[in-house]
Amino acid sequence: MNISDRWAVDSTRLVSWRHWGAESVAHHALSNHTHRLAEPSGWILDWLNRDGAQTGDALAAAAGMDPELVHAVLQDLASLGLIVRC
């Protein structure tokens, strides 16, 4: 089984979000939960929302970040239901 490493914002679940400075807030429509996100989570969510589906490695390269950290953040955002594999 080949699981894609491409990630995208789940627009069916993410109703709204705001990003300022080093913090972001995202509202998950299905659970009605609001999540406060620290960097780099907010940056990654912003990047995916603006530029569409990306791989974890592409995000890490664009930000000059450790790929392992980016992949861990992607997993965390997915566990909150804010992003999905595509």
Residue ranges per structural domain of the chain: 6-85
Alpha helices in 1-66 (DSSP H): 41-51, 56-63
Question: Which pLDDT band holds residue 4 (cuts at 50, 70, 90)?
Answer: low
Tell me the pLDDT tens digit for each residue of 26-81.
988 888 899 999 889 988 988 998 888 999 999 999 999 999 999 999 999 999 98
Task: Give this prediction's pTM.
Answer: 0.86
Tally of CA atoms within 13 A in the half-sphere of 2 that contains its CB:
2
**Token pair of 11, please?**
């627009």
